[in-house]
Amino acid sequence: MEETDRAIVAALTADGRLSYTDLAEKVGLSVSAVHQRVRRLEQRGVIKGYAARVSFEALDLPLTAFVAIRPFDPSQPDDAPERLAHLPEIDSCYSVAGEDFYLLLVRVAGPADLERVLQEIRTAANVTTRTTVVLSTPYENRPPKISAEQPNRARSRAPEERAGSSAG
């Protein structure tokens, strides 16, 4: 991916409602060119969508917790993510290496709700849970790094290097 595309993605992760006018100014392109590139990035799946970042406290979801789960019976087929997908309190589901099978991020209104959700998780996926309560969130979902494309020395080499071998 080109550097201009990376600049566009970086700008849109920081502010997803940037106008094409501002975006064009930021990356030094015309409005039409930026518009085309954004559409291409969306089609290619690099940009998967847009979302409002909200205050979970204001939405009456002040309690966040990580829930590590592992199957009660490891011989059964492992389809926990699908079995749990219907629970709206689950924000994210990660399949992880290590002792646990999955790590869930859940957001609830309070301890009573957490207890209920944990029970629902256990019965829905037939798993045991180990819960870590989040006390505060210094920062979350920051814009990603987006470095300049790493040189990838295997495919494109500097001209001086090319002299040695044939292959073309």
Residues lying near a copy of itself in the complex (CB under 8 A): 1, 6, 9, 12-17, 44-56, 58-61, 64, 66, 81, 85, 88-98, 100, 102-103, 107, 109, 132-147, 149-150
Neighbours of 158 (CB within 10 A): 8
Q: Does 16 bind DNA (CB under 7 A)?
A: no
Query: What is the Cα–Cα distance from 107 to 44, expressed in whole angstroms?
Result: 31
In order of 4, 10, 35, 68, the CA distances from 144 in angstroms are: 16, 8, 22, 25
Stretch binding DNA (CB under 7 A), from 35-43, 44-52, 102-110, 135-143: 35-43
Cβ proximity to DNA, 33 vs 46, nearer residue: 33
CA angle 121, 122, 128 (to 5 degrees): 120
Q: Does 4 bind DNA (CB under 7 A)?
A: yes
Q: Which of 10, 12, 31, 87 binds DNA (CB under 7 A)?
A: 31
